[in-house]
């Protein structure tokens, strides 16, 4: 089935926006992602997010052993600028990137500046699995009490995220998605407590 660049992207955008405004709520992009008919060496949901977020006004970086082919495809489809991690508006970290690659990208992702904290990076991470769970307790704006989730991804992403958001309003926003189309957003305002 072919993706409708207007309706399917709008539907996916609404779901991601809902998840961003209510951190910890898992949205599902499987219906829209199933219509992606390109082999891009990434999750179909990742390509869907890239088509939704990238245009000529923004920059991006792909972190993956398959970086060259996906970067070329995204540049051709969106005309977005390819740039190094430190300056990218959007950083896509694919599932085949190792934990060190993820940690390095998070460490250098731009956190914005005090006069323009919104000029920060949004990091999109392909997770192995996203589920409701007991390991991470999310709290903060958009969350009534707390949301409990489990995000299985490479590396020590939680530690690196904490380092990036310690000087609020500076920080990075993160979007995690898995192969099943599950998406969870974690803005810089969200506090995460690990529970074992």
Do 176 and 183 contact (CB within 8 A), yes or no?
yes
pTM here?
A: 0.95
pLDDT in tens, 58-74: 999 999 998 999 999 99
Distance in angstroms (rounded) separating the CA atoms of residues 164 and 160: 6
Instruction: Assess whether pLDDT exceeds 90 at residue 183.
Output: yes
Instruction: Assess whether pLDDT exceeds 60 at residue 1.
Output: no
Distance in angstroms (rounded) separating the CA atoms of residues 4 and 23: 27
Lowest model confidence (mean pLDDT) among 46-55, 117-126, 128-137, 169-178:
128-137
Q: What is the pLDDT, as a whole number, of residue 134?
A: 84
pLDDT averaged over every residue in the chain = 94
Domains of the chain: 7-185 (3.40.50.11310)
DSSP at 73: H
Angle at 80 (CA atoms; ends 122, 128), nearest 5 degrees:
45
The token pair at 64 is 């993956």
Q: Quick one: how many helices (H) and strands (E) in the chain?
A: 6, 10
Instruction: Assess whether pLDDT exceeds 70 at residue 187.
Output: yes
């Amino acid at each position: 089935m072919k993706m409708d660049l207007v309706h399917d992207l709008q539907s996916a955008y609404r779901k991601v926006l809902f998840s961003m405004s209510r951190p910890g709520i898992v949205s599902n992009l499987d219906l829209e992602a199933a219509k992606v008919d390109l082999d891009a060496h990434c999750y179909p949901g990742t390509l869907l997010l890239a088509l939704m977020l990238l245009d000529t006004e923004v920059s991006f970086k792909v972190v993956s052993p398959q970086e060259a082919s996906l970067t070329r495809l995204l540049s051709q489809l969106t005309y977005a600028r390819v740039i190094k991690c430190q300056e990218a508006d959007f950083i896509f970290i694919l599932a085949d990137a190792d934990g060190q690659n993820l940690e390095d990208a998070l460490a250098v992702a731009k956190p914005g500046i005090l006069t323009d904290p919104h000029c920060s990076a949004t990091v999109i991470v392909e997770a192995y699995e996203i589920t409701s769970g007991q390991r991470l307790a999310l709290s903060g704006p958009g969350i009534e009490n707390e949301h409990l989730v489990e995000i299985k991804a490479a590396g020590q992403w939680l530690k690196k995220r904490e380092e990036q958001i310690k000087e609020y309003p500076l920080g990075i926003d993160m979007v995690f998605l898995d192969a099943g189309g599950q998406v969870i957003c974690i803005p810089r305002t969200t506090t995460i407590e690990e529970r074992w």
